[in-house]
Amino acid sequence: MPVRVFSLYPLPIIVPVVRSAVNPIKDYGDGRWRFAARHVYSCGRASIEDERLRRRIHVRLYSRRQLIVSVVASAAVGILVAIGIGILPVGGRGAGTVVDAESPAPVSSPASGSVAAVEATQVLSEAGGGYTQDERENIEVYERLNSGVVNVTTEVVAINWFLEPVPKEGGSGSGSIIDRRGYVLTNDHVVKDAYKVFVNLASGERLEGKVIGSDSENDLAVIKFDPPKDMTLTVVPYGDSSNLKVGQKVLAIGNPFGLERTLTTGIVSGLGRPVQQDSKTIIRDMIQTDASINPGNSGGPLLNSRGEIIGVNTMIYSPSGGSVGVGFAVPVNTAKRIVPDLIKFGMVKRGWIDAEYVQLFPALIEYMKDKGGSLPVDKGLLVSTARKGGNADRSGVRGGTTPVRYYQSVFNVGGDIIVSVDGMTVGSLADLYSSLEDNKPGDTVKVEFYRGTKRMGIDVVLSDRAEYLGGK
């Protein structure tokens, strides 16, 4: 179909066009996001009572042959361990002779089964209690912190057959107690659109809470509940996500499918993963992990081996909606940066450049070239309008002067084309949001743009994004 672009006068309104260069993850409204042919699911708002989720839980039945093989293999391992700890005779030793784990009998081959058994015994003996050191670390972290992880359940408003609003059970997720006064860190999508929010503690209490702040751009929220006066809450401590390494061990505690305080383990599989939620928002620097994360884990902590929060479990990549070993967590340093704003203001204070933008797209580029304009770049944000008296206007950024229509959208051409903000390349509106993510109102950022064929740079003092968008 040919693209129709033509001038239209007069035009009293400006409608910006935003076309993301990356296919966005589609929000299905029930807690699922899908990325084109791939599937990325938020892992909250789930319940074991949900029949759709119940059908996704598969129980593998083993054949008789597989069972026999498993039993024989287990028996063989048991015999080797028994030999290693001296229950069964080794060589010329009598039954019941104990093999000293600290001074194993010399053997002729370092690859012999006896050496492997003794080494395994040493690991178990040193750990104590029949657990390996790794297992003891897992147990210690879980026993110390599992009571600091809560199950978050919600009620939403539904419309009955008589078109009346009625309360309805929503989904469920997880959360971490981050303050003894009753502050819980969770995901925004866990509590979004909730009529009521409940915090279910490890002790069995079900307390009503209140969402005091949320941020959809990082998918984080803070719930406040009032703990009983005689109760001391377990706080899950913050860690540091800036020095993580691929391959390091991680633990996840959450409530998958409503199964409370479930522990899974894995490693950091990747770092710095950008995941796009919609045309405006990219969650930057997400932590990828193979720790099993399923619906209901959303909002729960991803911990390091010391039991410190390094991320907030948020979504999974999955063709089916179940865990396939590709999960994503919002880095804890992002949470540490925005939680104070959520508690104080109920939202995140972010800076903004007061203008309306249009992302460059092929039809627009072709139109501008046909009109005799020189276009030195094919990626960037065209400034359609710089609000009069706004920070962009005061700093010298120019908006367009010629209104055009593209299908149902109307905007101005001829303005500056922004290509960089605060040192970050900007090719889409999502890039602009990301470049300003760490900046507060009043901060100064450098904005680089093309005016004709000339590249220019200016400093802009940021305004408050919420005030600008709210005042439109």
Active site residue ranges: 189, 219, 298
**Closest C-alpha among 276, 364, 369, 278 to residue 16:** 364
Using CA of residue 15, residue 362, residue 425, residue 347, what is the dihedral sign?
positive
Other beta carbons within 10 angstroms of residue 381's beta carbon come to 27
Q: SS3 sequence, 100-116? A: CCCCCCCCCCCCCHHHH
Separation in Å, CA 73 to CA 76, 81, 83: 5, 13, 16
Burial (CB count <10 Å: 0-12, 13-18, 19+), residue 155:
middle
| Cα–Cα distance for residue pair 405/23, rounded to 1 Å | 24
Coil/strand/helix, residue 259: coil
Can you tell me which residue has the tokens 């719930």? 223
In the DSSP assignment, the letter for residue 376 is S
**Closest C-alpha among 257, 178, 259, 155 to residue 225:** 178
- First CA to last CA distance, the chain: 34
Q: SS3 sequence, 402-465? A: EEEEECCEEEEECCCEEEEECCEECCCHHHHHHHCCCCCCCCEEEEEEEECCEEEEEEEECEEH
Other beta carbons within 10 angstroms of residue 373's beta carbon come to 14
| Cα–Cα distance for residue pair 400/417, rounded to 1 Å | 10
Other beta carbons within 10 angstroms of residue 348's beta carbon come to 22
CB 192 within 8 A of CB 198: no
CB 215 within 8 A of CB 347: yes
The DSSP H or E segment spanning 468 is helix 465-470
| Cα–Cα distance for residue pair 259/56, rounded to 1 Å | 15
- Peptide bond between residue 16 and the one before it cis (omega within 30 degrees of 0): no
φ/ψ region of 174 (left if φ > 0, alpha if ψ in -120 to 50, else beta) reads beta
Separation in Å, CA 182 to CA 110, 191, 252, 417: 56, 16, 21, 47
